[in-house]
Amino acid sequence: MSRLSLTRDKIYKTVARQLHGQVPCWMCGEHVEPQDATLEHIRPSSEGGSSHLENLAISHGRCNHQRHAKVGE
């Protein structure tokens, strides 16, 4: 398992534990199932955002993709 996958799983489990099993998507606010969880940079790397835990959030794969599709337009 990659380091990124381990970080995603760690953040997901921490949030789930804190919020009684509910992990909201950083983008849309709906619950994210573990198999659809992706890591999102709150402040994008391209804008100087880091990959430190405080700049990472869980999002749906589709929400993450939509955000990046808009950035590229």
The predicted pLDDT at position 60 comes to 96
* 19 φ/ψ angles, rounded to the nearest 5 degrees: -110, 25
H or E element that contains 39: strand 37-41
Q: How many domains does the chain have?
A: 1
H or E element that contains 58: strand 56-60
Q: What is the pLDDT of residues 5-17, one digit of tens each?
A: 898 999 999 999 9
Q: What is the pLDDT of residues 13-30, one digit of tens each?
A: 999 999 999 999 999 999
CATH number of the domain within which 25 lies: 1.10.30.50
Q: Is the pTM of this model over 0.85?
A: no
Domain carrying residue 49: 3-71
